[in-house]
Amino acid sequence: TMGNWLVNHWFSAAVLAAWLGINIFLFTYYFLFFDQDDRYFYTRAILGSALAWARASAKCLNFNSMLILLPVCRNLLSFLRGTCSCCRRTLRKQLDHNLTFHKLVAYALALLTAVHTIAHLFNLERYNQSQQATDGSLPAVLSEMHLQSSKWLNPIHSNETTVEYVAFTTIPGLTGVIITLALILMVTSSTEFIRRNYFEVFWYTHHLFLVYFAGLVIHGIAGLVRGQTEQSMAEVHPHHCAQYLTQRDQNCTHDCCKDPEFGSIPAESWKWVLAPIILYVFERILRVWRAQQKVVVNKVIMHPARVLELHMQKKGFRMEVGQYIFVNCPAISPLEWHPFTLTSAPEEDFFSIHIRIAGDWTERLIDIFQSETPRIEVDGPFGTASEDVFQYEVAMLVGAGIGVTPFASILKSIWYKFQQGDQSLKTKKIYFYWLCRDTGAFAWFNDLLASLEQKMAESGKADFLTYRLFLTGWDTSIANNVALHFDTATDTVTGLRQKTIFGRPMWNTEFAAVAAAHPRSVVGVFLCGPEGLAKSLQKSCHQHSSLDPRKVKFYFNKENF
């Protein structure tokens, strides 16, 4: 298991290092190229080092624009996961970090866009100054070349031209402004707060990626930044001839009399992004095709606190624990797809999800289901199976709030495997902790825990599952109720045999108790919950693991869900 952890993190670090390395290489290589290559000697005479900053960041922008779509090709990732089923699971798990990588690339795009834009603002200012200069300097002479022929170097040909004019009337200027606005909107609307509370805003704004890619492909077509042509380099190399440009006689006879000629740098963004765009188009076609397959809704259950449970069937649908599906309801919106964790076990003949109100779409879906059963489209399942849980003798499962959802599938599946005497199940004992703010959200999960509790008691395995429910937000009416019924066998809040604990868990106490009960076991700790909780659990895992290899060890698994 320690090996797994190392492979997992080593692989993540290797991917990250490769991505960073390629970015650094591209930036450094092209920065030095545009800063030293003789073809850009005259371009640098006007622009200085801002040319290299703009071109190097452009190369990295192309590279990252090529990568940004790949992590969101869900079906491509599922295909890869399937084809590398012979790989170690820890490597397949890396594909579940797709959105983390997607965000990382997006932040890189935002940073590089800032560098690229600022460099070009300097470039425009310098082009402008050179065009207006009358001092006979090299930049001034180069800027006058548009008078003789079309082989100009400075794209600004008039003293009245402003930066704003170039930004809104030229192809690079206008597409640059549009791309940057699209990127700013996409990045700002994908913050955690907006995704959680206004998913629709995030969903529709993110489709500006179409505008971004269209703009990117067109952006370099005009070729405003130019360099000296190969033919002109052969005739009048800047090393020999640059000095004569500023001090030339009328009746010039030597080799350097001819003016240098300039040509555009060909647009190449399309070469970088063509393959990912084609892949993404296939991805979308596949999603549409999969969505057309019929889904039968067998059962609709309305739980308290307006949580909707749907039992569905779809031909050829095969799931594993810890996976999720995307759901669409054409009656609400034909375009919106929302992810939901599967709460059924693979051993059941249906698949189920639990939906709580978390925005406009979920609220409307729950309202519709209260009066009729609309048509539902399903894409998936996605994600790597969370089978690691079955590999530990002792498992500590921690679910916070709605983060309890994947554990519904896991607990059910463990129970089925346990009943069937499945050899792949190494688990002998499960400790389950659920942290929740309000009692309403307990209802549907209570039923599951209650039925598991009953089944285990009936088969004489009552001690297989120990669970604790922590109410982190509670009011005085609950407190009074608890005080009245303190001596009852079942809990007043949930009706379960185990008491609900008010407040947050004392993790040191919990870990110490597990370590004492299983002094020689390897304990897997699984969390579906917030980052803060992950840090404290990780800390507890380190503190309570024995240095002696024969004694208790705790392994933390956050990335499982």
The string of pLDDT tens digits covering residues 10-48 is 778 889 999 999 999 999 999 999 999 999 999 999 999
DSSP label at residue 177: H
* 194 found inside a domain: no
d(Cα 427, Cα 464) in Å, to the nearest integer? 9
CB 222 within 8 A of CB 172: yes
* 251 found inside a domain: no
d(Cα 262, Cα 420) in Å, to the nearest integer? 78
CB 425 within 8 A of CB 390: yes
Q: Which two tokens stand for residue 42?
A: 């005259």
d(Cα 65, Cα 205) in Å, to the nearest integer? 18
Percent of the chain with pLDDT over 90: 47
Q: Binning pLDDT at 50, 70 and 90, where does residue 294 land?
A: very high
Are 345 and 423 within one domain? Answer: no
Total structural domains within the chain: 3
Are 98 and 153 within one domain? Answer: yes
Are 349 and 422 within one domain? Answer: no
> What is the per-residue pLDDT for 358?
78
Residue 38 identity (one-letter amino acid): D
CB 515 within 8 A of CB 552: yes
Which of 314, 347, 382 terminates a domain? The answer is 382
DSSP string, 476-513: HHHHHHHHHTTT-SS-TTT--SSPEEES---HHHHHHH
Are 122 and 238 within one domain? Answer: yes
> What is the per-residue pLDDT for 342?
93
Residue of higher predicted confidence among 253 and 506: 506
Are 415 and 520 within one domain? Answer: yes
SS3 string, 43-58, reads: HHHHHCCHHHHHHHHH
> What is the per-residue pLDDT for 180?
97
DSSP label at residue 248: -
Partners of 554 in the β-ladder: 523
Please tell me the number of Cα atoms within 13 Å of 277 on its side-chain side: 16
The whole-chain average pLDDT of the chain stands at 86
Looking at the predicted structure, is the pLDDT value of residue 561 above 50?
Answer: no
Partners of 382 in the β-ladder: 324
d(Cα 494, Cα 365) in Å, to the nearest integer? 27
The string of pLDDT tens digits covering residues 477-508 is 455 454 444 444 455 445 555 567 888 899 99
- Which whole number is the average pLDDT over 519-524? 90
d(Cα 301, Cα 315) in Å, to the nearest integer? 22
Return phi, psi of residue 94, to 5°: -60, -30
d(Cα 94, Cα 113) in Å, to the nearest integer? 28
d(Cα 448, Cα 340) in Å, to the nearest integer? 18
* 95 found inside a domain: yes
Are 341 and 405 within one domain? Answer: no
Return phi, psi of residue 355, to 5°: -120, 125
Full-model pTM: 0.82
Are 83 and 112 within one domain? Answer: yes
Chain CA centroid to CA 405, Å: 21
The angle formed by the CA atoms of residues 494, 435 and 1, to the nearest 5 degrees, is 125
* 552 found inside a domain: yes
Are 472 and 398 within one domain? Answer: yes
Are 136 and 37 within one domain? Answer: yes
Are 436 and 530 within one domain? Answer: yes
Looking at the predicted structure, is the pLDDT value of residue 271 above 60?
Answer: yes
Element (H, E) at 410: helix 405-420
Whether the bond between 381 and the residue before it is cis, its omega within 30 degrees of 0, is yes
> What is the per-residue pLDDT for 2?
55
CATH of the domain at 371: 2.40.30.10
- Residues whose CB falls within 8 Å of the CB of residue 370, separated by 6 or more in sequence, listed in order: 302
* 214 found inside a domain: no
Element (H, E) at 143: helix 138-143
* 197 found inside a domain: no
CATH of the domain at 466: 3.40.50.80
CB 220 within 8 A of CB 269: yes
* 178 found inside a domain: no
Are 368 and 433 within one domain? Answer: no
* 215 found inside a domain: no
d(Cα 308, Cα 274) in Å, to the nearest integer? 42
Are 415 and 466 within one domain? Answer: yes
> What is the per-residue pLDDT for 492?
46
Q: Which two tokens stand for residue 328?
A: 């669409």
Domain that holds residue 13: 2-170+222-246+259-286
Q: Which residue in this structure is represented by tokens 């108790």? A: 513
d(Cα 367, Cα 306) in Å, to the nearest integer? 10
The string of pLDDT tens digits covering residues 356-365 is 887 889 999 9
d(Cα 467, Cα 448) in Å, to the nearest integer? 12
Which of 349, 382, 415 terminates a domain? The answer is 382
Looking at the predicted structure, is the pLDDT value of residue 387 above 80?
Answer: no
d(Cα 325, Cα 444) in Å, to the nearest integer? 20
